[in-house]
Chains A and B, each alone.
Chain A
């Protein structure tokens, strides 16, 4: 850890990206048959899968709310997703991430349409490489749309970090581990922030730049999420039309 690594050389990062460049993203919708909505997402070397069940009956029943649906979010890391085997089951980090991720998505879910019910969101991290919470939120947002849950908008999430005294978009593992700061955010396409966390060391001015950069990352991800959903459902619509034509 004390060994000084140079993360940015001539404006190029260890993995060849520029400072304002996010990792490549791959999104697939409707990858699980049993879930009401699902999404598989890769952000660089992160691989996550999200499933949405509901609105459905709340168990245990005392959790139900008379005027709205409750939202549950379970962030879970596979034991093999990281370098050293993780003990299965939730740890304190997972509890915190589940909470903030739920709070990142709840503002846009129209829960008042489904009183006394629950919308369950499950996110499994299959492979982790820094930025799993943002990847999970991106996947969950698409899975919610896929499940047909009424929402005000999608939510997109991305982090900005600080390495070698520079603000970078979407830090990967090395940059996150040995970097100076990490700031994940999530937002609506309208720019309302629904998740904001930060740890490390940043001046106020740097935090503004990190925020701007992370917001840019979110906007790019939003376009991708939107495109994937439109593609998927226009394909389905075409297929339905063809079937109808045959009949």
Chain B
């Protein structure tokens, strides 16, 4: 998304980059401090507020019974939505999600779905009639860069805290939503031949290409997406994937402890 960054700021960041530095003193592969606060919204079945540096993302999970899709009558349903609400950035506008919001939501969804972190078969109540529908709603509160990784982290954190509200619907006792894997999305921008992980808003605006890699606990990859109007070389992709695996592992370990 276009944020105006002055030429002098761009020059400054570019010159820092040539010296192997970033404006906030991080290494190219380093993340800003991460904090996750769980269960911040009691009305939701699960929720998490993720802070990635100054970026803030709130994710709420609602779980309700509903009809399954016709082609998967015995499986629960995941519906992911992202709201780029205008309070989060001068470049966000009210209205239905634009393509950035849709891409973000679909990437968060891809992480949860493809990592098989939710066992959809276990979310079936009455085959063909009633299944649990898990709504993952991502609200960006403050976009200071890399809302992708923050949203993905928020989604899995919220799912980990979520309870299936069986009692409310007369379907037995409440139980914690079973979560089998922890997908971690790591995003890097490519800029002047270097790759920088966890870009802040200025770094995002000077780079024209981003690559998000979503890794699972076993070190495999469950999702990738290049975004932006630039190009990536094969070597850059391989390098980003390797570092994404390391970063993913580190974030997952820290995150599991919390």
| Chain A contact residues, CB within 8 Å of chain B | 1, 92-93, 95-96, 98-100, 103, 106-107, 183, 188, 191-204, 207-208, 211, 215
Can you pick out 26 interface pairs between chain A and chain B where the beta carbons lie within 8 Å of each other?
Answer: A92-B102, A96-B99, A96-B102, A98-B99, A99-B227, A100-B225, A100-B227, A103-B226, A107-B229, A107-B230, A191-B233, A192-B232, A193-B233, A195-B226, A196-B232, A198-B223, A198-B225, A199-B114, A200-B114, A201-B114, A201-B220, A203-B219, A204-B219, A207-B224, A208-B238, A211-B238
On chain A, the residues within 8 Å of B224 by CB distance are: 183, 196-198, 207
- What's the A-B contact tally at a CB cutoff of 8 Å? 91
Pairwise interchain contact B231-A188, C-beta atoms closer than 8 A: yes
On chain A, the residues within 8 Å of B223 by CB distance are: 198-199
On chain B, the residues within 8 Å of A92 by CB distance are: 102, 105-106
Task: Write the chain A residue with the least CB distance to B229.
Answer: A106
Contact of B228 among A1, A103, A197 (CB under 8 A): A103
Contact of B242 among A98, A200, A202, A204 (CB under 8 A): A204
Report the minimum CB–CB distance from B112 to chain A (whole Å): 11
Does chain A have a CB within 8 A of B118? no
User: Bound state CA distance, A227 and B2, in angstroms?
Assistant: 39
Contact of A196 among B103, B219, B222, B237 (CB under 8 A): B237
Per-position binary interface string of chain B over residues 31-64, scored 1 when its CB falls under 8 Å from any chain A CB and 0 otherwise: 0000000000000000000000000000000000
Task: Write the chain A residue with the least CB distance to B220.
Answer: A203
User: Bound state CA distance, A181 and B219, in angstroms?
Assistant: 15
On chain A, the residues within 8 Å of B225 by CB distance are: 100, 196-198
Question: Max chain A CB contacts within 10 Å: which of B211, B220, B245?
Answer: B220
Pairwise interchain contact A1-B72, C-beta atoms closer than 8 A: yes
Pairwise interchain contact B229-A215, C-beta atoms closer than 8 A: no
User: Bound state CA distance, A93 and B237, in angstroms?
Assistant: 24
On chain B, the residues within 8 Å of A98 by CB distance are: 99
Per-position binary interface string of chain B over residues 158-184, scored 1 when its CB falls under 8 Å from any chain A CB and 0 otherwise: 000000000000000000000000000
Task: Write the chain B residue with the least CB distance to A186.
Answer: B226
Report the minimum CB–CB distance from B218 to chain A (whole Å): 8
On chain A, the residues within 8 Å of B228 by CB distance are: 103
On chain A, the residues within 8 Å of B221 by CB distance are: 198, 201-204, 207
Does chain A have a CB within 8 A of B234? yes
Does chain A have a CB within 8 A of B110? yes
On chain B, the residues within 8 Å of A193 by CB distance are: 226, 231-234, 237
Per-position binary interface string of chain B over residues 113-146, scored 1 when its CB falls under 8 Å from any chain A CB and 0 otherwise: 1100000000000000000000000000000000
User: Bound state CA distance, A207 and B219, in angstroms?
Assistant: 12
Report the minimum CB–CB distance from A182 to chain B (whole Å): 10
On chain B, the residues within 8 Å of A215 by CB distance are: 234
On chain A, the residues within 8 Å of B234 by CB distance are: 191, 193, 211, 215
Pick the 5 closest A-B CB pairs, nearest first: A198-B224, A192-B231, A196-B226, A106-B229, A99-B99
Q: Which residues of chain B from 85 to 115 have a CB within 8 Å of any chain A CB? A: 99, 102-103, 105-106, 110, 113-114
Besides the known contacts A103-B229, A203-B220, 16 further A-B residue pairs in the complex with CB atoms under 8 A apart: A92-B106, A95-B99, A96-B106, A100-B103, A100-B226, A103-B226, A194-B232, A195-B226, A196-B226, A197-B224, A199-B113, A199-B223, A200-B222, A201-B114, A203-B219, A204-B221
Report the minimum CB–CB distance from A127 to chain B (whole Å): 19
On chain B, the residues within 8 Å of A197 by CB distance are: 224-226
Task: Write the chain A residue with the least CB distance to B80.
Answer: A92
On chain A, the residues within 8 Å of B103 by CB distance are: 95-96, 99-100
Given contacts A96-B102, A204-B245, A211-B237, whether A103 and B219 have CB atoms under 8 Å apart is no
On chain B, the residues within 8 Å of A95 by CB distance are: 99, 102-103
Given contacts A201-B220, A204-B219, A204-B241, whether A196 and B211 have CB atoms under 8 Å apart is yes
Task: Write the chain B residue with the least CB distance to A208.
Answer: B238
User: Bound state CA distance, A13 and B188, in angstroms?
Assistant: 36
On chain A, the residues within 8 Å of B231 by CB distance are: 107, 188, 192-194
On chain A, the residues within 8 Å of B232 by CB distance are: 192-194, 196
User: Bound state CA distance, A197 and B214, in angstroms?
Assistant: 11
Given contacts A92-B105, A95-B102, A207-B241, whether A192 and B233 have CB atoms under 8 Å apart is yes
On chain A, the residues within 8 Å of B229 by CB distance are: 103, 106-107
